[in-house]
Structure 1
Amino acid sequence: MVTINLRTKSPKAKISRLPSTLELDTSGTVKDLTQAISKATHLGPERIRLTLIDNTLLVSGTPLEKYDLQDNSIVYVKDLGFQIGWQTVFYAEYGGPILLHLIFYYCQSAIYGRTFEHTATQKATFYMVMLHFAKRELETAFVHRFSNGTMPLFNLFKNSAHYWFLSGVSLGYFVYKPNSVPDLPNYLFYGLIGLWIYAEVSNFITHLIVASLRPRGSRVRKIPFGYGFTYVSFPNYFFESLGWLAVTLFTRSWAALLFFIVGSGTMLVWSLKKHAQYKREFGDKYPRNRKAMIPFVI
């Protein structure tokens, strides 16, 4: 047993009822420590974030012995605020574009002031967008494994804004407006649809591979191998980006281009961070020649 000191890093972040010290059995796990703090402060365990003085994050389920806690060690406690389930966040993120594209596609008179016949490009884009986000919703329900059960409630609005405004309002309004761009020649029209289908199916396959590595409800992390992973750590991001590139070229819309640039840039940043984390965690066991997201490039 050791006695640790509990602190908040800022007086503004004061937590009511947080004890100054806590007697701790170091044979337990971080989850046990979190539960003890939760009981004392009346905060839900999902709201509590624990770090050491060097900013090392205490990961739930990890044995406390790993962190070498001694008498008078300091553990910083942060209240993450009201939380919402990651699965709920994903449903909201992807549900927004589905609803908005339905509105822009079918409510012509109310939005554009008149009715008109959609072009073949507009019809195909509508089905591509709807199928993409329907796939994402189904993956959220049946495929994805979440390492963290919840996230701060505020992030729901921040994350949803990207999808609701860029791929929902902006893309929907400008792609389905009257006098849109003319249809492409057949070889480009069907070629780009074929590229989009390839990207979507490939993205789905990589999601299945990643999900198979982590039993539901666990935080297990393994090195992924197989389809797409030979060349990059995150082929799911690469195929996602490729799919939106196909939509951008297909629609020739600045709104699609903007969503492609922002989305691909964001995924590239994520992949670089996660790629570095993979290399730190697995060391020499991790394939050296893999890039982060784009094969042979980065």
Structure 2
Amino acid sequence: MAVSPLTLIVRPRGKAIRGLPEEIVIDPADSAAELYKKIASSSKSSIHRLKITKGSDGSAISNSGAITIQQTGLRNKSTVDVKDLGPQIAWRTVFVVEYLGPLLLHPLLYYLRPIIYNTSEAPSGLQTLSLILITLHFIKREYETLFVHRFSLATMPARNIFKNSAHYWLFAGLNIAYWTYAPSAPTAQRRNPLVTYIGIALFVIGELGNFSAHLTLRNLRRPGSTDRGIPSGASFRLVTCPNYMFETIAWVGIWMVNWSLSTAVFLVLAVGQMSVWAQKKEMKYRKEFGDGYMRKKFFIFPGIY
């Protein structure tokens, strides 16, 4: 027996949206993504600028091809509210811009040392090593952004790129670079080689472990899909987010090479932010996968947090 199409009442939420239709006719078996397409096409807006919620309770309707209109609870003559989120920018572009800051600033300050610090001294071996490690770290980040990561959200508000980029451009880029390549920096002094070797080893372990975790997370999501599976593997049995654990290990390694307070400050800020994200991720896994997910006691550091 054929199911009759539904007529949904459409109204703007917040500022008016030019061309927004007053009604949309859609089949109950159509996906929620089709609803987004119809409204975006009618209003000549980008799908990514729209947020659609149910008029009855304000709950969001996901732009998903895996959820049908019937499953959303919408019925004939139901009301949907449409909000214009404003200009958007792709998450992939955001990450590329974020990591570009340190990639540009570290070589720039390193090679402009004679001008910036008014010195004729050549950079020390540890300063050169710090440049190499930090550059390799962010080259890897850029590679993962372009070829590894699959994003659950396609875009974010364009205005947020400045806030997001500030963390990397200022703290990982300008702040670390200025204090690391200075003639008076700890990296300009002779250090115990054993400590440096341990730092390099931690950096390598952290980078390889982080890359492996990112590959595992990538393979949980099909191309073009926002659906994901439960992460598995040795490191994922220890903590919720082993990618954050290995990220921390890599930066501890960098810090053991340059002993710069600026690196320690960035590390503390990064760990603080990753701790918040990891806890939210654990709660999301528990809610999304229920009893099928093995709950973790520790989010980033085994036996600690």
Give CA-to-partner distance per residue, 1:55-80, whole Å, 9 cap, x none: 43222222222211023323221112
Question: Equivalent pairs: percent with the same residue?
Answer: 36
Which residue does the alignment assign to 2:60?
Answer: 57
Matching residue of 2:9: 5
SS at match of 1:178: coil
Q: In the alignment, which residue of structure 2 is the partner of 1:102?
A: 107
- State the superposition RMSD in angstroms: 1.7
1:20 aligns to what? 22
Structure 2: unaligned runs, 5 residues or longer: none
**Between 38-47 and 112-121, the greater mean CA deviation after superposition:** 112-121
Aligned residues: 296
How does 1:138-287 map onto structure 2 within 5 Å? Answer: 138-181=143-186, 182-287=189-294
State the distance in 2 between where 1:82 and 1:108 align.
40
State the Cα distance separating 1:99 from its structure 2 match: 0.6
Alignment of 1:74-93 (within 5 A): 74-93=79-98
Unaligned runs of 5+ in 1: none
Structure 1 residue 122 and structure 2 residue 127: aligned? yes
What SS does structure 2 have at the residue aligned with 1:81? Answer: coil
Paired letter, 1:247: I
Contact 1:105 1:176 in 2 (8 A): yes
Q: Distance in 2 between matches of 1:290 and 1:216?
A: 31
State the AA in 2 paired with 1:114: T
Amino acid at match of 2:30: G
**Letter of the 2:277 counterpart:** W
CA contact (8 A) 1:231 1:296 kept: no
Alignment partners' CA distance in 1, 2:120 and 2:81: 60
Q: Measure the CA separation in 1 of the matches of 2:303 and 2:57.
A: 36
Other-structure match for 1:43? 45
Tell me if the contact between 2:206 and 2:250 (Cα under 8 Å) persists in the aligned partners: yes
Shift of the 276–160 alpha-carbon distance from structure 1 to 2, 3 Å rule, reads same
Contact map agreement 1:104 1:173 (CA 8 A) in 2: yes
- Secondary structure, aligned partner of 1:228: helix
Once the two structures are superposed, residues 90-114 of structure 1 have per-residue CA deviations (whole angstroms, 9 ceiling, x without a partner) of 2111111111001011111222222
1:18-43 deviations in Å (ceiling 9; x for gaps): 23332332210111111111122111
The one-letter amino acid of 2:41's match is K
Deviations 1:215-267 (A, max 9, x none): 22222210011141011121101111222222234322221122111111111
Shift of 1:272: 1.2
Q: Deviations over 1:107-144 (max 9, x none)?
A: 11222222322222211111110000011111112211
TM-score if structure 2 supplies the norm length? 0.91
Amino acid aligned to 2:11:
R
* Greater shift in the superposed pair: 116-125 or 275-284: 116-125
Report the more deviating stretch, 90-99 or 107-116: 107-116
Residues in 1 aligned to 2:146 and 2:34: alpha-carbon distance in whole angstroms: 29
